[in-house]
């Protein structure tokens, strides 16, 4: 505080911004021009879609891999979970480079790396080799969601954050659907190894494009306790933010549903006689295609609620998660046929209503210089708390009691998600008041 003259009330010095210019009223207005922001969104959309194509292409051809190598359902589930486990392990190391170096460069490098690992899957000769190659896909994908989330949330104004995240997250169901459908179709006509080779090609082109994206200058605030604290203390600080931690856990429960379902729904349709071998992915794709509606709709509706009541950004995913759990339970208990497909389709819309507001919260309640770290922690929590184990768990239950009964475990995750999001909503406004408000400038 500067010295004051006798009789005058001391006036606090303005908070340092370290070369950054706060927006009106302290609002985060985004670093990029409208054109630049749209370019960021377009490229990140395509890369995220490819991320899930490469990750989930294996699910459409599990029956062929099982036939060729004689593996169990539990072993088949690990072909998905091994990617998730290695994403979890390498998320924090990736986040260090993201927050301290460059978002766009890390995105480009990681995209090229996981594309190369996907190509390597085409040349494997045993289950173990394929498992190892899939693990390297996880290493490559470890930092993409944190880097993309940090870059995209910084490119657009705060008031549009959930809506933009909703648009971005349309890419996930698209990638899942394309991966499942292509995996089964290519495996049926040309062999399952060819599918890995074909889906790897676009990644090398997108990596080059990502290198040229606009980025913001890395936030350097040497006088801030945030940056003096160190990585471990920063991570602990984020996890001690109640709205962030409960949001991470709610995210974890819902992703456990989607990962388990995307892994086993094609096989479920094939084993119950609804689809022939290799065609299960084609029937599962419409369920996830309708997620295209849910992600942006959730972003729009939660932003509208947030403008009237800030807690609405988390109350909304609490309600939608509970609704999705009920719909999924009824879908698996319904007679197979039109009724089941309708329920699964509506479920696909409702489930992903949580995505955009939940991701927005991971960015809202932390310092701008720690956004990638925040989402990395979200990734770690969501994987370690459930979805890394969901596919092999459902596989194990399937080996014991049959797949039709095993999938009935999935709606339990949705009930837990609703509880965690509600708890997060109780702390959200309080946690927002503690965040340093700065705007980011183009560069890097």
Coil, strand or helix at 18: coil
Please give the DSSP secondary-structure letter assigned to residue 16: P
Per residue in 85-136, pLDDT tens?
888 888 777 777 776 777 788 889 999 999 999 999 999 999 999 999 999 9
Domains of the chain: 30-214+224-432 (1.20.1250.20)
In 311-354, which ranges are continuous DSSP H helix? Answer: 312-333, 338-351
Coil, strand or helix at 207: helix
CA angle 291, 292, 297 (to 5 degrees): 90
Distance CA 234, CA 249 (A): 19
Contacts of 59 (CB under 8 A, 6+ apart): 80, 179, 180, 183, 262, 263, 264, 266, 267, 281
Half-sphere exposure of 207 (CA within 13 A, CB side): 18
Listing DSSP states for 350-373 in one string gives HHGGGHHHHHHHHHHTS-GGGHHH
| N-terminal to C-terminal alpha carbon distance within the chain | 33
Half-sphere exposure of 34 (CA within 13 A, CB side): 0
Per-residue pLDDT of the chain in tens (444 residues, 90 and over written 9):
444 334 433 433 333 332 333 444 445 555 656 787 788 888 999 999 999 899 888 888 888 888 888 888 888 888 988 988 888 888 777 777 776 777 788 889 999 999 999 999 999 999 999 999 999 999 888 878 778 877 887 777 766 767 787 788 788 878 887 888 888 888 888 888 888 988 899 999 999 998 988 776 665 544 444 444 566 788 888 888 999 999 999 999 998 898 888 788 878 888 877 766 666 666 676 676 666 677 778 877 887 887 788 888 889 999 999 999 999 999 888 887 778 888 888 888 898 888 878 888 887 888 777 777 787 788 888 878 877 778 888 888 888 888 888 889 899 999 999 999 999 999 988 888 877 665 555 555
* φ/ψ (deg, to 5) at 34: -60, -45
pTM: 0.66
């Amino acid at each position: 505080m500067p010295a004051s003259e006798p009789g005058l009330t001391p006036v606090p010095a303005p908070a340092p911004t370290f070369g950054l210019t706060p927006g009106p009223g302290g609002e985060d207005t985004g670093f990029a021009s409208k054109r630049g922001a749209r370019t960021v969104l377009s490229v990140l959309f395509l890369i995220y879609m490819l991320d899930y194509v490469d990750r989930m292409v294996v699910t459409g051809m599990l029956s062929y891999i099982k036939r060729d190598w004689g593996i169990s359902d539990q072993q088949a589930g690990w072909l998905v979970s091994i990617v998730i486990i290695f994403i979890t392990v390498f998320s924090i190391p990736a986040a260090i480079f993201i927050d301290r170096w460059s978002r766009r460069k890390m995105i480009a490098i990681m995209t090229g790396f996981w594309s190369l690992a996907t190509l390597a899957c085409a040349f494997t000769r045993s289950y173990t080799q394929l498992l190892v190659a899939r693990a390297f896909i996880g290493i490559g994908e470890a930092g993409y969601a944190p880097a993309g989330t940090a870059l995209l949330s910084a490119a657009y104004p705060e008031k549009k954050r959930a809506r933009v995240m909703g648009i971005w997250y349309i890419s996930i169901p698209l990638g899942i659907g394309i991966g499942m459908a292509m995996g089964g179709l290519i495996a049926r006509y040309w062999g399952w190894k060819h599918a890995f080779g074909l889906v790897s090609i676009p990644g090398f082109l997108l990596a080059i494009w990502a290198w040229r994206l606009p980025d913001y200058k890395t936030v350097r605030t040497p006088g801030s306790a945030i940056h003096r604290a160190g990585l471990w203390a920063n991570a602990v600080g984020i996890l001690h933010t109640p709205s962030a931690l409960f949001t991470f856990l709610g995210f974890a429960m819902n992703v456990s549903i989607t990962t388990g379902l995307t892994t086993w729904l094609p096989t479920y349709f094939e084993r119950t006689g609804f689809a022939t071998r290799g065609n299960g992915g084609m029937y599962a794709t419409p369920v996830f295609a309708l997620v295209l509606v849910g992600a942006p709709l959730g972003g729009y509706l939660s932003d509208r609620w947030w403008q009237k009541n800030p807690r609405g950004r988390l109350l909304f995913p609490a309600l939608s998660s509970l609704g999705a759990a009920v719909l999924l339970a009824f879908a698996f208990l319904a007679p197979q046929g039109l009724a089941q497909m309708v329920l699964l389709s509506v479920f696909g819309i409702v489930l992903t209503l949580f995505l955009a507001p939940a991701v927005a919260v991971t960015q809202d309640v932390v310092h701008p210089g720690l956004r990638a770290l925040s989402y990395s922690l979200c990734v770690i929590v969501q994987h370690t708390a459930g979805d890394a184990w969901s596919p092999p768990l459902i596989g194990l239950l399937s080996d014991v009691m049959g797949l039709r009964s095993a999938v009935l475990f999935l709606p339990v995750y949705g009930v837990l998600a609703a509880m965690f999001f509600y708890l997060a909503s109780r702390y959200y406004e309080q946690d927002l008041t503690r965040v340093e408000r700065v705007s980011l400038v183009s560069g890097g």
